[in-house]
Structure 1
Amino acid sequence: MLLRRLLLCIMMASIGKVAVGDVATGDNSADSTSTPAISIESTPTGKRVSIDDQLFAEYLTDTGRQPAVWPIHGPSGQAMTRSWPLGPQQPSEEVDHPHHESLWFSHGGVNGHDFWAVAKGEPKTHIVHKKFVRSEVLDNAATIETANDWNAGGETIITDTRRLTFGLLGDAADSPRYIDFQIKLNASEGPATFADTKEGSFGIRVSGPLTVDNKLGGKIRNSRGETDGKAWGRPAEWVDYGGPLTATSEADQPTGGVVIMCHPESFRPVPRWHVRTYGLFAANPFGGDKDFPKGEPAQGAVTLDEDETLTLNYRVVFYDGDVAADKIQKWFDAFANAEAN
C-alpha cells in the first residue's frame, strides 16, 4: 500500500497538476522561487485564475447577456480592460456601448438574431452558460472549458464549446501573460448563418488610458504596418493596442498593451478587425464588404449545415512596457507554430 501511494505521488508530480478541494494549482515545489504558480479557484460567479496568489483574470459565467472574462490584470497588476459595465467606472473610461464587456465572444447576426448589441426588443438574446466541461492546471497553464447555448427568445439557435487557457510567456511573474481562446460554433439546431456585419466577434474593450482617443499616448498597430484609424476593417494576422496603463501624465507612468493574434489553423486566419480608437478591439472573420472597406480579400457571411462546426483560435497577450513590432511578430510566430488542437 505504501509503495502504491508513493507511485501515485510521483505520477501526480510528473503531470504537474495538483487538485486540492476546489482549487487546482500547478506543482512548482521543485523550484518555487523561479516558476510562478498558476491556480484556478471556483467562485459564485465562475472561475478565478491567479498567479502566485495574485488575481490574473476571472471567467464569469453570466453577465446577464453572456459569459465574459473580467477583470484582467497585466504583469504589473494594472487593469488591462475597461471596468464598466461589469464594475465601477474608472478614470478616463467612457460609459458607452454597454455590450462591450471586457473580453467576450458574440456576433451581430446569427440566423437574424443580434447577439452583439444589447437587445432593443424581442426576442431577447442571451448566450447561456450550461456547464464547465473541465477546469485544470497542467504544465503550469490553467485551462477552463465550457459549453454554452445561444438563445433568442428562449429558443436555442446554436451551441458552442469554448476553451480558455491562461499562462505566461516566460518563467518570471512579470512575464507577458496570455489567454488562448478557442471556440467551436456548432449548428446543433439546424443550418446557421453568421451574417456579414462589422458587429463581431472576438472582442476586447481596453482600459481607458490605453485608448487612442484619450490622447495619453495610446496607439493601434497591426501586422501589416497600419496604425490607429487606418487599421479599422483591415485584414491582419495580429493587432496591438498599446500605451499608458494609468490616466496620468507622469513621465514614468507604467506602459503596456494588449495583442490579439489569430492562429493560422483558425477559420479565416487573417480576419478583418473591428478595432476603434475609442477602445473596442475585435477580430471579425465574418464581416466583409457590407460594412468594412472594400477591395480586401473576400470575407463575408457563412452558413453552416446542421451539426457542422466552425472553429476559431485566438491568443491574447497582455504585456508591460514598450514592445517593438518585431517582438510581437516573434510571439505570433511561436503561437502560429503551436498546434491549435
Structure 2
Amino acid sequence: MKIPALPSILLLALVSLAAPAAAADKGFSIEKTASGGAIVKYDGKLVTEYVVDQANKPYLFPVIPPHGTPMTRAYPMQKVDGEQWDHPHHRGICLGHEATNGFDTWAEKTTFEERPKDKKAQERLTKVGAQKHREFKELKAEGDKATIVSVTDHNNPQGKKEFEDTRTIVLQVIDGRLVIDYDVTFKATDAPVTFEDRKDAGFSIRVPTSMAVAPEKGKKSGSIVNSDGIKDVDAWGKNAKWCDYYGPVNGKVYGVAMLNHPKSFRYPTPWHVRDYGLFTANPFGTKNLDKSAADGTFILKAGESVTLRHRLIFHEGDTASAKLDEAFAAYEKLP
C-alpha cells in the first residue's frame, strides 16, 4: 500500500485502533476539529470525521464500523495502490446535484481541471458552485448514539448563497452494526430553487474498490441487490425501497445497505448505483435514469422545504444475512 502522507485524522485512527479503550471511552464521543468539522469515535476508536474544508462540499470520511474495516474508498483523500482513482468528487459519504439554479455541487473543480482541452469539461468548470458549512446546531454524543445537526449554504460560482440545507446525522451502533441516519432538508430561503432532472444528483457513498461489482474490466467481485431482488447493473435506475452493495474487503465479505424512508422525497427513490462503486439514491433523476419516465425537474418555492431521508447500515456478510426487510420494517416506523 502506497500512501503519500497520512493526514491527522488517519494518524488518530491508527493510534485509536492500537490503544485499548478505557472505561471512560465507552460509547460514542464527538468533538470539533480545528478546521471547523467534527470527529466521531466509538469506544475511543475513530468512526468518522465530518470534513468541511477540503472540497466544495462537506463529507464523511473515513467510515469505520465496529468491525474495524474502512467502508469507503480512500481516493481522492489518499492515493492507495489497488484502488480506482476516478471521479475525484466521489468523496466518502456526501450529497450533491449537477444543476440547482444552473450551478453544480456534484462535481468539483478538480473534476474538470485535468481536461484543459475538453470544451465540455471547461464549460462545466464555470458552473461549479459550493456547499459551504455554516454552523453546527448540535453536536451530541451519549451511549450508543451520536448526533450532528449542521446548516449548509449552497452558493453559486460567484459565491452568492442561493438556498440552504439542514442536515441531521445520527450515528448508532445497533446489534453491533454501525447505522447512520442521514436526513437533509433543503430550504428555499429567499427565492425559488430549480432542481433539474439529472443523473448525477442525490445522496452518495463511494464503496471500497475491492467491493465494487466490477473493480476491473471483465472481472466480477462484489454484488448489488435491491429490495425487489434486481441485481448488479440491472439495479441501475430502478426504484426500490432499499439497495445493498456487498463484496470482499480485506479478505472478508462486508456490505453497506441504503434504506429510503417512506416520508422521503419521491419515495421509493431511483438508484444511481454503478458497478465501479458509486452508490447513490437519486430522487432528482427520473427521465435521466429512465427514458420512458417524465421529466423530473422540481421547483422548490420560496420559503418551502423538501427532505431526503436515508439510513445506511454497515453489515458483515451478504444481503441475505443482513436481513434488510426486517431492518426496513423497523426504519419505516420512525416518526
Displacement of 1:91 in angstroms is 3.7
Aligned partners of 1:125, 1:235: CA distance in 2, in Å? Answer: 29
1:322 alignment partner in structure 2: 318
1:204 alignment partner in structure 2: 205
Displacement of 1:138 in angstroms is 4.2
1:98 alignment partner in structure 2: 88
Root mean square deviation of aligned Cα? 1.9
Matches within 5 A, 1:298-337: 300-324=296-320, 327-337=323-333
Contact 1:210–1:218 (Cα < 8 Å) also in 2: yes
1:270 alignment partner in structure 2: 268
Aligned partners of 2:225, 2:232: CA distance in 1, in Å? Answer: 6
Say yes or no: does 1:292 pair with 2:296. no
Give ranges in structure 2 of 5+ residues lacking alignment: 1-22, 110-123
1:126 alignment partner in structure 2: 130
1:81 alignment partner in structure 2: 72
Contact 2:101–2:193 (Cα < 8 Å) also in 1: yes
Aligned partners of 1:140, 1:73: CA distance in 2, in Å? Answer: 15
2:228 alignment partner in structure 1: 224
TM-score by length of 2: 0.83
1:116 alignment partner in structure 2: 106
What is the number of equivalent residue pairs in this alignment?
A: 294
* 1:160-207 deviation line (CA, Å, top 9, x unaligned): 11010111122xxxx111110010101113010111011111011101
Contact 1:285–1:299 (Cα < 8 Å) also in 2: no
Displacement of 1:321 in angstroms is 2.5
* 1:230-251 deviation line (CA, Å, top 9, x unaligned): 00011011110001112xxxxx
Displacement of 1:217 in angstroms is 2.8
2:112 alignment partner in structure 1: none
* 1:270-316 deviation line (CA, Å, top 9, x unaligned): 01111000000000011011x212446x6711101111100111101
1:71 alignment partner in structure 2: 62
Match of 1:154 among 149, 155, 159: 159
Matching residue's letter, 2:181: D
Aligned partners of 2:32, 2:210: CA distance in 1, in Å? Answer: 31
Which one has a bigger Cα radius of gyration?
A: 1
TM-score by length of 1: 0.82
1:250 alignment partner in structure 2: none
Displacement of 1:127 in angstroms is 0.4
Contact 1:243–1:257 (Cα < 8 Å) also in 2: yes
Matching residue's letter, 1:331: A
Displacement of 1:70 in angstroms is 0.2
1:283 alignment partner in structure 2: 281
Matching residue's letter, 2:191: G
Aligned partners of 1:209, 1:234: CA distance in 2, in Å? Answer: 24
Matching residue's letter, 2:164: T
Displacement of 1:118 in angstroms is 2.2
Contact 1:156–1:189 (Cα < 8 Å) also in 2: no
1:258 alignment partner in structure 2: 256
Contact 2:272–2:281 (Cα < 8 Å) also in 1: yes
The secondary structure found in structure 1 opposite 2:214 is helix
Displacement of 1:114 in angstroms is 1.5
Aligned partners of 1:244, 1:213: CA distance in 2, in Å? Answer: 12
Aligned partners of 1:216, 1:51: CA distance in 2, in Å? Answer: 34
Moved more, 182-191 or 44-53: 44-53
Contact 1:74–1:320 (Cα < 8 Å) also in 2: no
Aligned partners of 1:299, 1:319: CA distance in 2, in Å? Answer: 36
Aligned partners of 1:300, 1:74: CA distance in 2, in Å? Answer: 35
Matching residue's letter, 1:302: F
Matching residue's letter, 1:196: D
* 1:32-67 deviation line (CA, Å, top 9, x unaligned): 79x951111222231111111111111112322110
Matching residue's letter, 1:82: R
Identity of aligned residues (%): 36
Displacement of 1:122 in angstroms is 2.6
Displacement of 1:329 in angstroms is 1.1
Say yes or no: does 1:107 pair with 2:82. no
Contact 1:163–1:182 (Cα < 8 Å) also in 2: yes
2:186 alignment partner in structure 1: 185
* 1:256-279 deviation line (CA, Å, top 9, x unaligned): 111111111111120111100000
Matching residue's letter, 1:144: I
Matching residue's letter, 1:192: V
Give ranges in structure 1 of 5+ residues lacking alignment: 1-31, 247-252
Contact 1:210–1:216 (Cα < 8 Å) also in 2: no
1:24 alignment partner in structure 2: none
Aligned partners of 2:140, 2:289: CA distance in 1, in Å? Answer: 39
